[in-house]
Each structure stands twice: as structure tokens, then as C-alpha cells.
Amino acid sequence: MAEAYSGLVAATVRSLIVYPIKSCQGISLRRVPISSTGFRWDRQWLVVNSKGRAYTQRVEPRLALVGVELPSEAFSENWKPDKSSYLVIKAPGMSDLKVPLIRPTKTVDGVSVWEWSGSAVDEGAAAAEWFTSYLGKPSRLVRFNDASEVRNVDSNYAQGYKVMFADGYPFLLVSQGSMDALNSLLKEPVPVNRFRPNILVDGCEPFMEDVWAEIRINESTFRGVKLCSRCKVPTINQETAVAGPEPMETLLTFRSDKDLRQKNKSQKGKMYFGQNMVCSDSLNKGTGKMIKVGDPVFVLRTVASANDAPA
């Protein structure tokens, strides 16, 4: 299998999604520039509680209903915001919130997401009041403070790469073939937004992304560094914010570490869907390179099976 796919066009980019605010809705785009931390604007903002701890859909599923908009030109090469540039935030029952894209000056300490803590830029009273009203508990909106903070990915899987407020890695890739295989087993199919990928590809066999160790899209090289173990977020309907048992119950019947990683003796009941990736361009602080919908995906290097992929 590894030999057959080496250097061949294995798939095509079907969708590209950026999530400016962690755990809120994504923005689907035709083309996206690569930055030093993933796609430009991805997970640059975070909603936190009164102690600075991250809110995510795991504990606040209503974040799924929060929509975000950025100026279309914000994804153009070398674009910089001015005083008339805003992140627009929308949610049911709420008036629109406009957050200036020009960076505010106030920083706050003690912001934390998973294992990381540091300072962040506070987006001010209006944003705090909006999210406090929407969630019904003290909340603030903060922006990653890239002027002074660095959040590195796990060096056991990738050296030198960094993210803003993403869970762990700059990119998550999922294939439509995998989605179709899963949905064929479900009584009610689920959309791909349950899995929150950055890159959705089409044209390959189900779960081929498991074995992609290195791929090329346009002029950029991506490396598969870790199978994505899934939390409860895929059980949350992104249109209603209501959680249910699926698709996790079904995935656990054929995508658990017990099924996929029989050589690994430290099985912990994890379930995998999608591949976490890094891009070599990000090591150069982002080159302004773009990938776009319709780009072919060339597979340069594979492993033999999911059992041999890092996880």
C-alpha cells in the first residue's frame, strides 16, 4: 500500500475551514494562507471564565451556535487590518458583536487552555458582557498574545511547531471517504462539522489519511504527526448544541485503539478519526503560501497501517 500511493494524486481538497474563536463555528473558504501557527486566524481567540480557564464545547456546548465573520480580504496575502476591520460575532437571541481586529493593548495573565498558561490580550468590556450574557456566567474574550507568548506542540510528535489556542496541532485533516464510511453505519448521518477539520479531502478510500506520513498540497508539504483521538465534541449537534450518543458509539466499534492499534499494549479506550498535521512552511513564520479548494493532494510517504502511525 505504501508503494502504490507514493507520489501519486490520492485526493483533492474539498473544503478548507478556519475557526477564529476556539469551539465556535468555522468559516469555510476557497483559499487560505498558511501562517506560523496553522491557517491564518485559526483559533486566535478564546472564551474564558472568571479564572481565565478556557471554555470549550465540552462544557459549554452552546458555543457551537456562535457564528463568526471576518472581512473576506482578511485571507488575502499580506493583508493587515485597519480601524474599520472587525471580527463579527453572532448567536441566537443576541445582537451582533463587533470586535476590532486592530490589537488592543490590555493584557491579562493566567489564561489557560489544557496544559498551557500564559498572558493573552483582553478584548474588552463589551465582548465580556456579550459572552457573559450569552453563556449566563462570567466570561471574557481574549486573543492569543503572539508578541510575547509561544505555545509549542508536543515535541514527542513534532519539533519546533506551534499553535495559538488549537487543542494541540496546527491542522486537522479528514477525508470525505471516512465520513461516508461512518455515515453508512449510522441511522442518522452526521455532517463533517461534528469533527471540526481544517482540511477536508475527497477522492481517497476511507481512512487512508491514517497512513499519510507526508503529503503535498500546492507547494506546501504537510506531515501527519498523530492520529486524532476524539473527545465528546463529535456527539454535539452543531446546529442545536444538543449532545447524543452518536457518532461515538459507532466509532468505538471499529475505530478504537483496541481495533486499530493491536501492537500497542497501552490501550486506553481512545477512538481515532482524522490525522493531526504540521506544515513545513510554518517553521518559516509562515510564507504566505496558500492552499485552495480543488488542489490535488500528493502522497509522498506513508506508513503500512494505522497500527504504525503515531497516536
- Cα angle vertex 14, ends 231, 192, to 5°? 25
Predicted local confidence at residue 4, as pLDDT: 40
Peptide bond into 247 cis (omega under 30): yes
The pTM (predicted TM-score) of the whole model is: 0.95
List the one residue out of 23, 2, 105 whose CA is nearest residue 66.
23
Residue 275 identity (one-letter amino acid): Q
Q: Which domains does the chain have, with CATH numbers?
A: 2-19+154-308 (2.40.33), 27-149 (no CATH)
Please tell me whether residue 183 adopts helix, strand or coil conformation. Answer: helix
Distance of alpha carbon 215 from its chain centroid, rounded? 18
pLDDT by 10-residue block (mean), the chain, 311 residues:
57 98 98 95 98 97 98 92 97 98 92 96 97 98 96 95 96 98 98 98 98 95 97 97 97 93 74 96 76 97 94 92
Predicted local confidence at residue 268, as pLDDT: 74
Predicted local confidence at residue 269, as pLDDT: 82
Predicted local confidence at residue 285, as pLDDT: 59
Place of cell 471540526: 196
